[in-house]
Amino acid sequence: MSFTTKVHTDDGVVTIRLTGELDSRSAPSLNEIIVEATESTVRRLVLLAEDLTYMSSAGLRCLVFAHQKLGRGVDIVLVGATPEVAETIRLTGFDRSLVMQGATER
């Protein structure tokens, strides 16, 4: 499955809908979106992950990159992650660096 994103920005809140598989082939495109988002003031980054079917270590590196690029005081919120994606994030301990909301059960 391919990877697609849909980006919406409103008053400092950047929302990115993630669809498909976030892996080493697709991670650079998400990093580009993160770089573009940081060109303006960002208060919160919301990642809608209901349709994200897979996240490799390259996807985790995207989250770390976003955390470093956005800096302190900017919330990163991951919404609706599948159990597999949520578990991957928890196993690395990165769940302490972002807010996870509404992980789905499949």
In this predicted model, what pLDDT tens digit does every residue of 34-89 receive, in sequence order? 999 888 889 999 999 999 999 999 999 999 999 999 888 899 999 999 999 999 89
Rounded distance between C-alpha atoms, residue 42 and residue 38, angstroms:
7
Which residue type does 12 have? G
Looking at the domain assignment, is residue 106 inside a domain? no
Q: What is the predicted pLDDT for the residue at 102?
A: 84
In this predicted model, what pLDDT tens digit does every residue of 15-37 receive, in sequence order? 999 999 999 999 999 999 999 98
Q: What is the pTM of this model?
A: 0.90
Which residue type does 83 have? P
| Residue 47, domain extent | 4-101
Looking at the domain assignment, is residue 66 inside a domain? yes
- Cα-flanking dihedrals φ and ψ of residue 61, to 5°? -60, -30
What is the total count of domains within the chain?
1
Looking at the domain assignment, is residue 55 inside a domain? yes
Looking at the domain assignment, is residue 73 inside a domain? yes
